[in-house]
Amino acid sequence: MNFISLCPPDGFGPSIEVAGCYCEYEDKVLFLKRSPHKLHGKTWNLPGGKLNEGETPRTAVVREVFEEAGIGVKEEDLEEVNKFYVRSMQTDFIFYTFRAQFLTLPTLNLRREEHEEAAWLTLEEALKLPLIYGGVEVLLNYKEYIRGR
């Protein structure tokens, strides 16, 4: 059974932790399309990835945004958004989300072995894409988060 929530389900046992970042420029967010050979290939998602041993969610997201998109983000510039509990058919995991706002459009240096395309999109545009599992729920939550600010 697949499940994504702000509260852990009964028996939740995460095997990994993942961090992602809403990289914002004006009214758009950066989305990356996974390479076809990757797990969940050809789906769109936020820049991010698994935490390495000893990493905090913040340090992981700084590293992942740079590795995947070539964008430098400072830990102190990250705004913590939410923590999701995800149960998929493969595993249970925790997904931390952060927000980084940019005053100028960052130059991308896309890591082609992981992602085949990048796009700056409004949330409405992104919701029309084939998103990675849980992507719709995460974006709808973010929409509410932004509305409440």
Q: 105: domain range?
A: 3-147
Number of domains in the chain: 1
Contact 33, 110 (CB under 8 A): no
Mean residue pLDDT of the chain comes to 94
**In the structure, what pLDDT confidence band is assigned to residue 1 with cuts at 50, 70 and 90?**
low
Question: Which pLDDT value is given to residue 117?
Answer: 96
Query: Span 24-32, mean pLDDT?
Result: 97
Tens digit of each residue's pLDDT (9 = 90 or more) over 96-122? 999 999 999 999 999 888 899 999 999
Cα separation, 118 vs 63, whole angstroms? 18
CATH number of the domain residue 102 falls in: 3.90.79.10
> What is the largest distance, in Å, between two alpha-carbon atoms of the chain?
44
Question: Which pLDDT value is given to residue 126?
Answer: 97
Query: Span 39-43, mean pLDDT?
Result: 86
